[in-house]
Amino acid sequence: MRTLTFQRLEELLSMLSKARVLLIGDLCLDAYWYADMTRSELSRETPRFPLPIVAESYSPGGAANVAANLAALGVGRVQAIGVLGEDWRGDILTHELIDRSIDLSAVVRSSQRTTATYIKPIRRGYDGVWQEDSRLDFQDVEPLPAELEDAVVAAARKAVKTADAVVIGDQLDPGTVTPRVRAALIELAEAHPERPFIVDSRKHISEFRGMILKPNELELAQAMRRSLEEALDRTTVSEMGQSLARRAGRPCFVTIGADGVLLCDECDVIHIPAAPVRPPLDIVGAGDAFLAASSAALAVGATLEEAGILGNLAAAVVVEKLNQTGTASPGELRERLRIAQQGETTT
């Protein structure tokens, strides 16, 4: 963290209000339903105890959470491109994003699609402790229709002209970033080398070219066709990261959990340590926070190493926020850098 001074952090943060970041991908909704089981009575119709929901909360998930993180960081204009269903979940997600001042003018609503939603029931008993139950998922099973692909590609071609950085969140399969959409995005990245394109893809990270890639170590192993049961030491992950960077023709960030991130290119690997965290922790949304903060930094001219440090700071803030899909603010990044540098001074 010593390579990023407080002065440089302030310079980067001060420029974010003028930055324009385009986000393309799978816009999802996260839902938390809180059930007080002390109120539950055996159902008369079935031998089951119902979950009495006493509170509920909703927040952007998937690529929509990346957009929310960009907005929380103070990025001046965040535009999202994706496809939502004409359903109550799409209505809630639209409201959540508009409430964060995210531009949805290029988002398509379609009766042919389901708004991807992850509902997390959380139970509480007499001990007062909340425990998460099995998740309930809403997701499409059919590929994106051709006419919706056309709409996504047309919107991307128009919006990229005014973007300082382009972020791609490819989480679902099938999802928004179909092979045809991916090919169009690669074409745009190659046509606009002056703009950083950064992509996070759960299953197809090795199929992107001309973009900065952000896999985690398991996604990297899968992309390199390595067994997920194989032990992945730092050397192995570094070699795979360099190989992936050669394929893409651009560097890649390989996030490695509590150890931070490896910044890999064809010639070198730089380890960027994680920022300090304080348990208890919830890792939901850490990758989204990293992607948003690193992309925002690149949009205002940060180096790749600086972008990686900001990403680590944001991820450390988010994992301390329990039972929510959290975001990190500029003030929280400042405080996290202070904590990190204090720790380096005392060790």
Could you read off the pLDDT of 179-204 as tens digits, one per residue?
999 999 999 999 999 999 999 999 99
Question: pLDDT confidence of 342, banded at 50, 70, 90?
Answer: confident
pLDDT tens-digit profile of 290-337? 999 999 999 999 999 999 999 999 999 999 998 777 899 999 999 999
Bigger pLDDT: 322 or 149? 149
| pLDDT the model gives residue 347 | 46
Percent of the chain with pLDDT strictly greater than 70: 98
Go through the chain and tell me how many residues it has. 347
Mapping DSSP onto H, E and C, the string for the chain reads: CCCCCHHHHHHHHHHHHHCEEEEEECEEEEEEEEEEHHHCCCCCCCCCCCCCEEEEEEEEEEHHHHHHHHHHCCCCEEEEECEEECCHHHHHHHHHHHHCCCECCCCEEECCCCCCEEEEEEEECCCCCEEECCCEEECCCCCCCHHHHHHHHHHHHHHHHHCCEEEEEECCCCCCCCHHHHHHHHHHHHHCCCCCEEEEECCCHHHCCCCEECCEHHHHHHHCCCCCCCCCCHHHHHHHHHHHHHHHCCCEEEECHHHCEEEECCCCEEEECCCCCCCCCCCCCHHHHHHHHHHHHHHCCCCHHHHHHHHHHHHHHHCCCCCCCCCCCHHHHHHHHHHHHHHHHHC
| pLDDT the model gives residue 3 | 82
Taking residues 31-47, report their average pLDDT: 96
User: Which range is least confidently modeled, 3-7, 105-109, 216-220, 282-286?
Assistant: 282-286
Average pLDDT, rounded, for the chain: 95
| pLDDT the model gives residue 1 | 63
| pLDDT the model gives residue 344 | 63
Q: Is the model's pLDDT at 345 over the cut of 60?
A: no
Query: Can you list the domains of the chain with their CATH numbers?
Result: 6-28+62-122+141-346 (3.40.1190.20)
Determine how β-strand 136-138 pairs with β-strand 83-85.
Answer: unpaired
pLDDT tens-digit profile of 211-257? 999 999 999 999 998 877 777 899 999 999 999 999 999 999 999 99
* Nearest CA-CA partner of 282 in 337, 314, 326, 313: 326
pLDDT tens-digit profile of 75-86? 999 999 999 999
Q: Is the model's pLDDT at 70 over the cut of 50?
A: yes
Q: Is the model's pLDDT at 205 over the cut of 60?
A: yes
